[in-house]
Structure 1
Amino acid sequence: MASIRIPKRVLVIDDETHVREIIQTCLEAFAGWRVSSAESAKVGLVMVNADPPDAIVLDVTMPEMSGLDFLQALRTNPETQSIPVVLLTARADLIEPDRLRRLAVSGGITKPFDATTLHQQIAQMLGWELL
């Protein structure tokens, strides 16, 4: 009897609509993951608390609440603190290995990113197998 694989659920948080759409399309089409998105860190925090995903792809630079502020709020809540996070940023200094370790995130991807390999990068950082 073959086992049924339940698709991973990923929340993408980015204030740029086209970036969210590209990421969602790529992760759904290439990896088969179920992807939801939030246009701000505040909305993302509400979504995470209501229905925690398997992982979060998080933009760092956003208005109102930054990705780093979101990360701090995520880590202080026992219900959400263990959700793995992959940072998405135009700032290469934020994805240096020591910085990623201090932030306790699974990895970081610089913008602009390669949409055709994004799912592979994220899966590798999270330790997920692709179907």
Structure 2
Amino acid sequence: MALVVAAGAALLRITRAKTTLRLPGPDTTRQSLNRLRAMKRRMEAFVGPWLPDPLLTAPDDAEDVDLAESVSMGLMIVLETLSPTGRSVFVLREAFDVSGDEIAAAVGKSPAACTVRKLGCRR
């Protein structure tokens, strides 16, 4: 690509200097090759500071998805091992933060029994 640009620049200089167009000769080829070598040297001789690769400070999104899936699977296993009343107490208390008296009224048990079920579910 750089050779094409260099050849085009050389042709532009030649056509501006003269009104007739002639085929590029050894002058144009030499100029193009010299320009290409100079561009290559400029690219190789970088004197600025090199910056290190960026560090990943936040966890990868794929890790977040894996964590969410494992938490979901764990919660599903816990809910499957509980009785329907225990499942209701656990979900109402942990997910919806419903008070113990309201849970007891909803499931038809005493508040003390709901507290015992809630503690049993957490274990």
Q: Taking structure 1 as the reference length, what is the TM-score of the superposition?
A: 0.22
> Which protein has the larger Cα radius of gyration, Structure 1 or Structure 2?
2
More helix per residue: 1 or 2? Answer: 2
More strand per residue: 1 or 2? Answer: 1
**Structure with more contact order per residue of length (Cα contacts < 8 Å, sep ≥ 6):** 1
